Amino acid sequence: MSTSNQELARWVEDVAGLTQPDRIHWCDGSEAEDRQLIEAMLASGELEELNQDTHPNCYLHRSNPADVARVEHLTFVCTDEEEEAGPNNHWMAPDEARRKMRELFEGCMKGRTLYVVPYCMGPVDSPLSRCGVEITDSPYVVINMKRMTRMGRDALARIEQEGSFVRGLHSTGELDPERRFIMHFPQDLEIMSYGSGYGGNALLGKKCHALRIASHQARHEGWLAEHMLIVGIQNPQGETRYIAAAFPSACGKTNLAMLIPPEEYKGWKIWTVGDDIAWLHPREDGRLWAINPEAGYFGVVPGTSPKTNPNAYEMIQRDTLFTNVAVTKDNQPWWEGSPDGEPAVDWQGRPHDPANGPAAHPNSRFTVSARQNPSWSEVAEDPRGVPISAIVFGGRRKDTMPLVLQARDWDHGVLLGAGMASETTAAATGKKGVVRRDPMAMKPFCGYNFADYFGHWLDIGDKLEHPPEIFHVNWFQRGEDGGFIWPGFSENLRVLEWMLERAHGDAGAVETPAGLLPQQTELNTEGLDLSTTELEDLLSIDPAAWDQEMEAIGEFFAQFGGRIPDRLQKEFDRVRRALSDGEAVTASAR
Ligand code: OXD
Ligand code: MN
């Protein structure tokens, strides 16, 4: 296979000249190709077969122990001016970055195969989709891209028709953290990644293309590329409404996207459109429409069980690639939170010893086609996408943020998103559990200056005659005993129901200076074991804590100098003033 697109043909030739592979393979995305790659990786030891009786077509990949997560400190946005990348990104001048990467890539594929991986982010027949080509020397990347994107012939045909594509060059290199860089050149629609085989650093269609590069494209083309799940909620009357929700990595997006309604919700059904990324477009009908650019899930494994996420648990019993989980004596995958079995061998291939820490890496992952999810929605293939009724922002916060808060309007919603913060997780290297500002859950992924990004969000609002309602949630508030107050998981549907009633019905809300809280009677808590004080804690605004919160948001905004849009600054000042004039408010106390 080769291509009629001259630009692509020339680029592959140039890269081959630089990296000097033994062979070049153009991926067609077929099952036969996938099988062949898996067989070769089993032979080389890059994959291990898991128990084929209990887990047919499931394989385990153990990554290098120094390569288990995204590396934000080695991820750069290379724009002409540092200001364009903003204080939210690490920046390098494009010439310097290219020089550095050329040195690293020189001869790096000697003795290896260069794979050309054409892919499409989004349904191949959707005008909202965008294509890319990843060149990689990792067969692990190829088999992951096959599950995560529309990869192969059809994507190449679209590229040949359309002419444009994002270029991504990747090599696992020596896996030396000292020789590892993930570089983005948004102006050239180009990515270069060296020295890591881990998901977010190496599957370039995902974070690098569908968020960092796409956010830049979206800014110029008038849409939004967001770190959001998309979920359809069907009520007993048979109406399905769609919500897009942004949470930082490893905060339960996958769980929310495929939840099973609680017992009290007979006749309700959840449909998964996406679990990680949404591309949102204002339409002529004045509404915001979304597609999921991905075709699979690269989900965090630990904690997945028939209790927490029955759909995910079921879908990973077959045809799944596991990365960095443990295995049982009889070679079944095992992780902390597994419903049964005992770990015999840990994620590094050592006999399991609790003294070495968790048996599965906390950021171990499953890669699986979205169609295996029992709640997979066919509209994920609809080229038009789905209309969004509500946008949800949320972080992992032990205090301050109530269970749910509604923005009074779009601008206030943008402030709630821009002010978001969350405790850090194992999805990125670095300290865990530290509260950091993570606007719209895009801190690691926004390909340009956050101040301009906030301005772009405000502009999008101006284009929407029927904008979605915006909410902020926190499933992670802790009680005096240190445990989570809200049960989470399935029960989160209760909060989603209130949101949809706010967007399309007449559910009541209590106005507070921080936003609107549900009236206690309007949030369905039937069957939940929550005391009155717990409910009050979940649904209250503590002025002292909020004062500190606003202080922290103000300091965060100050980093951007005068670039924060006036409109956002005014909204901030308005809320701050209202809070300092107000008193403690608990919705439930009314
Ligand atoms: C992911 C992440 O892999 O956010 O989705 O880290
Ligand atoms: Mn993510």
Closest CA to 282 of 87, 462, 424, 481: 462
- Rounded Cα distance between 217 and 289, Å, is 17
- For the chain, count helices (H), then strands (E): 16, 31
State yes or no: pLDDT of 445 exceeds 50: yes
Render the burial of 545-564: b for 16+ CB within 10 Å, e for the rest.
ebeebbeebeebbeebeebb
Within a 13 Å sphere around the CA of 474, how many CA atoms are in the beta-carbon half?
Answer: 27
Residue 388 structure tokens: 């969004």
How much is the average pLDDT of 223-247? Answer: 98
Test site for ligand 1: of 148, 276, 442, most ligand atoms within 8 A of the Cβ: 276
pLDDT digits over 183-201, tens only?
999 999 999 999 999 999 9
Q: Where are the domains of the chain?
A: 6-46+66-222, 226-295+378-586, 297-372
Ligand number nearest CA of 299 is: 1
pLDDT digits over 465-518, tens only?
999 999 999 999 999 999 999 999 999 999 999 999 999 988 999 999 999 999
Q: At 121, is the secondary structure helix, strand, or coil?
A: strand
Give the CATH number of domain 6-46+66-222. Answer: 3.40.449.10
Give the CATH number of domain 226-295+378-586. Answer: 3.90.228.20
Overall pTM surpassing 0.75 (yes/no): yes
- pLDDT, the chain, mean: 96
Residue 287: exposed, middle, or buried by beta-carbon count in 10 A (0-12, 13-18, 19+)?
A: middle
Candidate list 27, 208, 251, 446, residue with the active-site label: 251
Ligand 2 center to 84 CA (angstroms): 23
Around ligand 1, the residues with Cβ closer than 6 Å are 70, 199-200, 249, 276, 298, 427
**Band of pLDDT at residue 1, cut at 50, 70 and 90:** low
Residue 557 structure tokens: 């905004």
- Rounded Cα distance between 10 and 15, Å, is 9
State yes or no: pLDDT of 587 exceeds 80: no
State yes or no: pLDDT of 590 exceeds 80: no
- Rounded Cα distance between 223 and 460, Å, is 7
Closest CA to 228 of 203, 247, 256, 209: 247
Provide the pLDDT for residue 585: 64
Of all atoms in ligand 1, which is nearest to the CA of residue 200?
3
- Rounded Cα distance between 426 and 512, Å, is 35
Residue 441 structure tokens: 């859950």
- Rounded Cα distance between 168 and 166, Å, is 7
How much is the average pLDDT of 84-93? Answer: 98
Active site residue 251: yes
Of all atoms in ligand 1, which is nearest to the CA of residue 199?
3
How far is the CA of 119 from the CAs of 114, 116, 167, 531, in angstroms?
A: 16, 10, 11, 51
Ligand 1 center to 480 CA (angstroms): 31
Ion ligand 2: residue ranges with CB closer than 5 A: 249, 276
Q: What's CA 188's distance to the chain center, in Å? A: 24
**Which residues touch 22 (CB under 8 Å, ≥6 apart)?**
109, 110, 111, 112, 113
Of all atoms in ligand 1, which is nearest to the CA of residue 249?
4
State yes or no: pLDDT of 313 exceeds 80: yes
Q: 297-372: CATH homologous superfamily?
A: Phosphoenolpyruvate Carboxykinase, domain 2 (2.170.8.10)
